[in-house]
Structure formats: C-alpha cells, structure tokens
Amino acid sequence: MVELLVVLGIIALLIGLLLPALSSVKNIARETKQKAQFTAIELALITFKNDYGDYPPSDRSSHVTGAANDYSGAQKLAEALLGWDLLGFHPKSAWRADGLDTAGGPGTYDPPKTRDTNANNVPDTLDERKGPYLELATTSAFKLVDLFRPFSTGPLAPDTYVICDVFTAKRITMLKGINPLTNQPLTVTEKAGSPVLYYKANTASKTINTIYDVLDNNTLVLEKQRIDNREHPLARPAGQYQFFYDFIRDPKITARPWPHRADSYILISAGADGLYGTSDDICNFGY
C-alpha cells in the first residue's frame, strides 16, 4: 500500500509539472498561429496598396450623416481585404458603413440590389471589383451582428464584417438559409476570436499621437468591453491612452517618441485573454 501511494504521489507530481509545460506550449503555438495570420494580412495589404496606391483608411467615420463612429479601422480592414459583402473590394468605395457610394446611391456595393444591369446597361458591381485579397475559407471573418449576439452592436453598423484573431473563445451561430421542407432556419456554428484592430499611419504627422490615432477603434473596443463585462485597458476614457503610445513606441529611436511602423500600419490582437491593452496582446511589430 505504501509503495502504491508513493507511485501515485510521483505520478501526481509529474502531472503537476507537465500541465504548466503543456499550457505554455499551447500558448506559444497559438501566438505563432496569430503571427502567421498577421503575415497573411500584411501580404494582402501590400497587394491592396499596389492596386490602389495606399493602405486602406482606419478612421472611425462612416461618412454617413448622423452616424459618425460606426465604422472603425477593424471594419475597414475587412472591407479592403474581403469586400463590404465578402465578394471583393470595389475600387470606388466611399468607405461607408452602409456600402453605398459617396452620394448614398448603389454605385459601389449596391446592398439593396437596385442597379439595373440590363435596361440601362449598368454593369453588376461584381464586375467592377478586385479581390478578395485573403482566402475567405481560411479567414475568420464575421458580421458584428453575429459576433456580438445576443447583445446589440451599439452605434456600430451591425451588417459590417471584421477579421477575428485565432484565439477562438466564442461560438457563433449564423443563419445559412431556410429549409424548404420544414420552413425552419438552417444555421451553422463556428468559433470566433476577437476582432483584429487596424490603425493606419498618418505619414504627414511628426508626433507619435498624431501618426496613430488610438480612437480609430475606440467605439469597437468600448462595445466589446460592454459585452464582455470586463475592463479593457484600451477602452479607458479620453486622455488616458498614454500606455497605448508607450506600447507602440519604438525604443530604438530616442530623439523623440516615435512609433513602430510610422510609414504604414499596425495590427493588434487581444491575445488569449480577449482583452485589448493587456500584456498578452500580439502585434505586427516589435517583440
């Protein structure tokens, strides 16, 4: 009996030593997978820039009257690389959360499907698009209305997409169609992480807090905090974002505070804890 207890004790000790090691290996694997996703996004953004001369914008304006903050950098990243409706980017996009053109008409994505492709000889918007720049089957893209369900999306446009990171912490149920025999909805369930935050550099600026605007994804992070019921440091009140600029600062440049990737963009994943602004966040620069 004593020998058996000793053996069981040794086994328990070995398991206790092994579990943290397995957890550490698992975290390293997920971080590697996240960096691989960022590499794919970066290659897609390079192709986008080659086609259109610049990276997509990241300002939070939707350019729709009365809806100032419903279209963040994360949503615009998804539009650029996948299209407003995941069917490719339209070269005349007005970067509107409703998918319409500058005048509010169906000149780009035509979400109401009102463009006449026959009588007026107007081409279908699909004929005018490029991309998608990412492989849709391997890209974790979800509508905000699905990602935030059963909660509302707040001021964010519900039918816009975001690209989610690899830390799949939530199951998303989406409507696939209607069963013609039972007239019941057909649904599909997938795992989703947190939206990848995208910030475009303002290369004309010469100070760190004007090269990058922390508010580009502010509305999205605030709504994520409300839904998670946990504090996201990146959702702090205005004026308390110095930690963000410390985080993106390039320590090799000492003459003045200067960000990493001041000539392009930054990407941020919330990491394994799903919180923006914590120590496990993963980015496309630095560490």
SS (H, E, C) 56-119: CCCCCCCCECCECCCCCHHHHHHHHHHCCCCCCECCCCCCCCCCCCCCCCCCCCCCCCCCCCCC
For residue 25, is pLDDT > 80? no
Tokens of 127: 């004929």
CB 141, CB 161: distance < 8 Å: yes
pLDDT in tens, 188-229: 788 899 999 999 999 999 999 999 999 999 999 999 999 999
The 3-state DSSP class for residue 247 equals helix
pLDDT of residue 6: 66
User: Is residue 20's pLDDT more than 80?
Assistant: no
DSSP state of 49: H
| Closest of 163, 191, 216, 142 to residue 41, by C-alpha | 163
Query: What's residue 238's pLDDT?
Result: 62
Tokens of 133: 């720049």
Q: pLDDT tens digits, residue range 231-247?
A: 998 887 766 788 889 88
Residue 42, pLDDT above cutoff 80: yes
Task: Render pLDDT for 142-179 as a digit per residue (tens, 0 to 9).
Answer: 999 999 988 999 999 999 999 999 997 788 877 777 77
| pLDDT tens readout for residues 48-97 | 999 999 999 999 887 776 666 789 999 999 999 999 999 999 999 999 99
Cα 43 to its chain centre, rounded Å, is 16
**Helices marked H in the chain — which ranges?**
2-52, 73-82, 144-148, 208-211, 218-228, 242-248
Sign of CA dihedral 145, 60, 219, 272: positive
For the chain, domain boundaries: 33-101+129-287
Kindly report whether the global pTM for this prediction surpasses the value 0.95: no
Structural tokens at position 94: 């007005």
According to DSSP, the β-strands at 170-178 and 141-143 are unpaired
Token pair belonging to 162: 């975001």
Quick check: bond before 150 cis, omega within 30?
yes
Q: Which residues contact 284 (CB under 8 A, 6 or more apart)?
A: 35, 38, 41, 42, 261, 266, 267
